[in-house]
Amino acid sequence: MQLILEGLSKKYPKNKLFENLNHTFEINNTYAITGENGSGKSTLIKIIAGVIAPSKGIVKYVEKGKLIDKESIYQILGITAPYLNLIEEFTLKEHLDFHSKFKTTLMNTDIMEEIKKANLIQSLNKPIAEFSSGMQQRLKLILCCSFNAKVLLLDEPTSHLDSMGIEWYKDLINRTSNERITLIASNNPDEYNDFAKKIINIEG
Ligand SMILES: Nc1ncnc2c1ncn2[C@@H]1O[C@H](COP(=O)(O)OP(=O)(O)OP(=O)(O)O)[C@@H](O)[C@H]1O
């Protein structure tokens, strides 16, 4: 599996973000995307996820030498970001059931064990509207990391996590980042220093 950025540029009418980004991301590796506030990290994640279009260039997902078509990439993507919200009316259990309808859990992963490790087991039947921001972030990370996806896009993964939450996050990534490409968009070395094979500064 490869994720390839070819000549990727993005500008808004009043704002030029990045220009001519070229990179090939390989399976079994974790990468950090860094850059000042407003440099375009979240924008790049959205372009890679196919949510918005680049001004120039192309994003290619390649599996065994074959290009994966745009309509199918959601099957191999796991994404978490501050602007992606859980469903407030659903309980944690309903989120797991819903997610399980289109993604399977990682091999050797017991999802209830993951919920316990995240200290969320007592909230299984609570609606998300009653979760703190840190609890929501822990669930978002589990939904992203503990289910099968060849490419993980993590935008500010430790937002709202306390120091224990950050240690839990590091353990989660260590246990789940094999056999996939993980991209971490962040300016916080705590979020990527332990894992990143390469740090890509979006500002060049
Ligand atoms: N739809 C849009 N129209 C115009 N400008 C936009 C739009 N979306 C984002 N921007 C601008 O693009 C720039 C990059 O935003 P982005 O959120 O990608 O940056 P970032 O590097 O992730 O920032 P941060 O570190 O603060 O999270 C910002 O100046 C933002 O205001």
Query: For residue 116, what pLDDT is reported?
Result: 98
Kindly report the CATH number assigned to the domain that includes residue 162: 3.40.50.300
**Structural domain harbouring 54:** 2-201
Measured by CA distance, the residue closest to atom 4 of ligand 1 is: 12
E strands, the chain, are 2-12, 15-26, 29-34, 56-63, 66-67, 77-80, 151-155, 181-185, 198-201
With both helix axes pointing from N to C terminus, report the angle between 92-100 and 133-145 in degrees, rounded to the nearest 10: 20
pLDDT of 182 reads: 97
Chain-centroid distance, C-alpha 24? 17
Q: What is the pLDDT of residue 117?
A: 97
DSSP conformation class of 69: P
Structure tokens at 93: 């259990």
Ligand 1 contacts CB of residue 189 (under 6 A): no
Burial call 31-59: b when 16+ CB within 10 Å, e when fewer: bbbbbeeebbbbbbbbbbbeeeebeebeb
Q: What integer pLDDT is reported at residue 31 of this predicted model?
A: 97
Q: How far is CA 153 from the centre of its chain?
A: 3
Pocket of ligand 1, candidates 9, 17, 45, 154: which has the most ligand atoms within 8 Å of its Cβ, to mutate?
A: 17
Q: How many of the other CB atoms lie within 10 Å of CB of 168? A: 18
| Number of domains composing the chain | 1
pLDDT in tens, the chain (204 residues): 999 999 999 999 999 999 999 999 999 999 999 999 999 999 999 999 999 999 999 999 999 999 999 889 999 999 999 999 999 999 999 999 999 999 999 988 999 999 999 999 999 999 999 999 999 999 999 999 999 999 999 999 999 999 999 999 999 999 999 999 999 999 999 899 999 989 999 986
Cα 74 from Cα 63, distance rounded (Å): 14
Distance 74 CA to ligand 1 centre (A): 23
Residue 201 near ligand 1, beta carbon < 6 Å: no
